Amino acid sequence: MLKISGDVEMNHNGGILDHQIDDGYILACCSRPLTAVSIEA
């Protein structure tokens, strides 16, 4: 799980909660960038 800035398309079957997505987290293994993205440390 990563916190990012930018837009991604994420197709997942669980493993992440709605509030985590709302906070900007993604599952990298299930995502592809739609715009330039930055990983927040």
pLDDT at 4: 94
pLDDT in tens, 3-41: 999 999 999 999 999 999 999 999 999 999 999 999 997
In this predicted structure, what is the pLDDT of residue 41?
78
Burial of 26 (0-12, 13-18, 19+ CB in 10 A): buried
What is the DSSP secondary structure assignment for residue 7, as one 8-state letter? -
The pLDDT value recorded for residue 35 is: 96
Where are the alpha helices (H) located in 1-41, listed in sequence order?
18-22
Phi-psi domain of 16 (left: phi exceeds 0; alpha: psi -120 through 50; beta: other): beta
According to the model, what pLDDT value does residue 22 have?
Answer: 94
Cα distance between residue 38 and residue 14, in whole Å: 23
C-beta separation of 8 from 37 below 8 A: yes
* pTM given for the model: 0.82
Domain boundaries, the chain: 2-39
pLDDT at 3: 96
> Tell me, what's the pLDDT at 39?
94
